[in-house]
Amino acid sequence: MATWSGLSRKLRGAAVIGAILVAVAAGASVTPFLISCEDTAEAGETTWEERRQKVRERRAKEAADFRLRWEQREQAWEERRAKQLAEDEARRARWERELAKAPPQKRVRRVRRFRWESPAETRGKVWNVPVEETVESLETALLRVCIAEADGNPQDCAGIWQVIKSNRRRSCDRGMIRRITECVDGEGETYLSAIRRHQRHVLGMIKARNQRATWVRNLTTDCEMPEGWPASRERWDSQYGTKTCPQTVADVRRLLAGKLPESRPGARVRWLPGRPVTWGGRCETGRGACDDRIACARGLARIPGTDTLNAFWCRPGRAGCPEDIDPICIQMGYPSRLKAPEPAETVTAIDPVEEPSDENS
């Protein structure tokens, strides 16, 4: 027994020693592997850091190159712009010098002219004012109208010019007004055409209606005795040639320049209010033309407070124009714009026949 127990003790000791040797051998084999893994990890970290640094450096270089190219492009553009501006300034200065040396050019006005209404209505025409609107033709035409309509009265002449300006067409719509004879593109009807439409007799567009129109239509701005004057030269000089005609010519020239005629002693000329659209002879005077009914039929109102031979009319309701038609028009039977028509008088018959009421129907 003693021998067996001693043997077992020896075997256990040998086993323990063998286990220790195996453990030592295993530890010796693992240690180099751990060391190699740590070295590899450190080497990998170093490589990635270097790569990131290289990427940052490359991007920084690319950004710097881009900024440099952009600055060079901007500088080149500024140089081209400055050169272009200098060339434009030199060209402008050259054009200004050439323009200063060149003679002035007249603006081209495209004028369209039309026949007065129809050929049948132009028979007997005696128009001796130039067809084209000029300063001279305007002065001649307005002089004739002022003499024919008001014997040269400056206030009447100013009102007549206002009417002509108000009624001049801003377009050339001959489908609406056939009597337009001259237009300028972009400007509308000429003033000469408008004067023709307002006074056809003394401007030769139709036959003269009386003896007075026969000589007035031959009157010119030199105030020489016109053809058709029925009296002597002395009578012409005393009545028109030395005073009335020259004063009217001066008034006409001021009106065409946008100024009022000079006031006469005891009479101050002014622009008429209410935008007058027509004129005509006053019926209440009992002399000359009686045109009130024509204006009343158009629903117009007289411009009040005018010291004129003719009555001037405006459209009711406009600024400066009465709200209602003229009282003389109401006396003629034209209805007022402000008063409602009175209901018709009802006549009740004796013993009326009883009719069913609305309530029972």
Strand ranges inside 135-230, DSSP E: 182-184, 188-189
Question: Would 197 be classed as within a structural domain?
Answer: yes
d(CA 338, CA 340): 7
221 and 162 co-located in one domain? yes
What does pLDDT average to over the chain? 79
Shared domain check, 119 and 266: yes
Same domain for 327 and 206 = no
Read off φ and ψ for residue 289, nearest 5 degrees: -75, 150
Does a structural domain hold residue 243? Answer: yes
Residues 249 and 183 in one domain: yes
Query: Do both 263 and 125 map to the same domain?
Result: yes
* Range(s) of the domain holding residue 282: 272-337
Residue range 132-159, pLDDT digits in tens: 678 899 999 999 999 999 999 999 999 9
Q: Are residues 293 and 156 in the same domain?
A: no
Q: What integer pLDDT is reported at residue 6 of this predicted model?
A: 59
Q: Is residue 258 part of a domain?
A: yes
Does the residue 35 lie in any domain?
Answer: no
Give residue 17's identity as a one-letter amino acid code.
Answer: I
Radius of gyration of the chain from Cα atoms?
A: 54
Any domain includes 342: no
Note whether residue 277 is domain-resident. Answer: yes
Sequence-ordered list of residues with C-beta below 8 angstroms from that of 130, at least 6 positions apart, any chain? 136, 137
Give the pTM.
0.60
259 and 293: one domain?
no
DSSP 204-246: TSS--SSHHHHHHTT--TT-PPPTT--S-HHHHIIIIITTHHH
Q: Give the chain's domain count.
A: 2
Nearest CA-CA partner of 279 in 293, 295, 297, 298: 295
CA distance 26 to 17: 14
pLDDT tens for each residue of 172-221: 777 677 788 888 888 888 999 899 889 888 887 777 778 888 899 999 99
The predicted pLDDT at position 8 comes to: 63
Residue reference for tokens 């067409």: 169
Q: What is the torsional sign of CA 76, 77, 82, 86?
A: positive
